[in-house]
Structure 1
Amino acid sequence: MSFLPLLLVSMLLFFVLFFGIGFILNMLLRMSWIMAIIYPIVALAIIQDAKFSDYFRTPGSAFSSLFESITSLALLDILVLLSGLAGAILSGVVIKMLRSKGYRMF
């Protein structure tokens, strides 16, 4: 059970990291859900080691390798990635709420 503190810290770090990045991007670009849209691309870049250009040059092998990488994820990895997604989504919710209450950001 020594992995539990590591899991909790990792989940908290991913949540705070993507909440902060999403909040700043939402504030600067004035698009409330920009990080929620970008997050799957970031998550796939974290999961997959292939270059972005491989998806255009050799799409068959790149996508099959990506599918294998996704299916081989452990539950702990999925939990950490989902906490990052929750942070990205919550940043959009918070920006929407602040704008509806009259706060203008940039």
Structure 2
Amino acid sequence: MISLPVVLISIVLFFVLFFGIGFLLNMLLRMSWIMAVVYPIVCLFIISNKKMISYVQAPGESFQSLFQRIMSLAVADVVILAGGLAGAIMSGIAIKALRKRGYQMF
């Protein structure tokens, strides 16, 4: 069982982490929603305990295992990952707003 302060700090950390990564990727690649699109793949890397090559070599077993792990996530884990998704989405909104106001990043 995770304590409430740990969950709150983790939510803030995931939000800030993925906001920052998304902001930098959006600036460099000039695609406003790149991190919001990539974030679900990052979540699968976080959740999965299998090597990525196993999804090619034994896809049935690997995807079944991944589905089982997703279904067994605790509410706190889902909320923390949702905080990261919110950060990724907010980075896209921030870049769009800055570009609309005339700021050209790279």
Count of residues in Structure 1 that have an aligned counterpart in Structure 2: 106
Identity score, percent: 61
What CA distance in whole angstroms lies between the structure 2 residues aligned with 1:50 and 1:97? 39
Scaled by the length of structure 1, the TM-score of the pair is: 0.97
Alignment partner, residue 48 of structure 2: 48
Deviations 1:16-61 (A, max 9, x none): 0000000000000000011011101110100001111111110000
1:67 aligns with 2:67: yes
Scaled by the length of structure 2, the TM-score of the pair is: 0.97
Alignment partner, residue 84 of structure 2: 84
What CA distance in whole angstroms lies between the structure 1 residues aligned with 2:96 and 2:51? 35
Unaligned runs of 5+ in 1: none
Unaligned runs of 5+ in 2: none
Q: Please tell me the root mean square deviation across aligned C-alpha atoms, in Å.
A: 1.2
Give the aligned residue type for 1:45: F
Name segments (4+ residues, structure 1) moved above 3 Å: none
1:28 aligns with 2:28: yes
What CA distance in whole angstroms lies between the structure 1 residues aligned with 2:93 and 2:41? 20
